[in-house]
Amino acid sequence: MSALIEILFDHPDFVIVDKPHAISVQNETQQSGILPILCQQLNVEKLWLVHRLDKITSGILVLAKHPQAAAIFGDLFEQKHIEKYYLAVSAKKPKKKQGTVTGGMKKVRDGKWMLHNSQTSVAVSQFFSFAASPGLRLFLIKPLTGKTHQIRVALKSIGSPILGDSLYKGESSERTYLHAYCIRFTYQQQPICVLCPPTSGKVFLQGETQQQIAKLASPWALSWPVSKYYQPDHAE
């Protein structure tokens, strides 16, 4: 069996885990996905995915323990009552240090996506960027929608492809530096907030980057712009 997956939060209805990078949520031809690994680790027959992470992305992943919980999460995501925050690193300076990236998502060749001027399949991502290790920028991203490759495309569009993300022409590295860092929501009147600092990736673990991440321990408290795409339903 593979190394144990770290359990970040265990609830009777769901579990929140730290997904390692370079592992898919589902089985692949040559590699087991995280779903069967977790079922074996938790000694359960089945878990339900309520959202997804790309194979290259590490960090927070939520799985329901029964269909009723999966349906509740489906409603929470549909109503945009779940806040998610991601960390990313780029070797390129962005066109602007903070802001919002908005555009329609269009699939192009080779499995890539791009932004275009359309109101179809609109993706909205807010971000702040910070100086991290020499020559690198650390990004804190708050996606307000949940489109495939949304963050990867957003950072590419502002001139800062993610370090290690070869699909979007990021600088070469030992991993893709995208990490699901924090999630906040209210589940049946219980406020849930889980923070998951990255535990792999030499750039994430460098002193300067660690110091900057430590300053972002309450990402929801930053001065994010108000948006029609997200209306919080709980007290700050």
Instruction: Name the pTM for this structure.
Output: 0.92
| 137-189 tens-digit pLDDT | 999 999 999 898 999 999 999 999 999 999 999 999 999 999 999 999 999 99
CA-based max dimension of the chain: 48
Question: 89-126 pLDDT, tens per residue?
Answer: 999 999 999 999 999 998 888 888 988 887 778 899 99
Catalytic residue check, 54: yes
For residues 154-187, one letter each, b for 16 or more C-beta atoms within 10 angstroms of the residue's C-beta and e for the rest, the string is bbbbbebbbbbbebbebbebebbbbbbbbbbbbb
Q: Is the dihedral of CA 74, 155, 180, 225 positive or negative?
A: negative
Which residue of the set 10, 13, 18, 54 is catalytic?
A: 54
The CA-based angle 146-18-73, given to 5 degrees, is 45
Domains (range + CATH), the chain: 6-210 (3.30.2350.10)
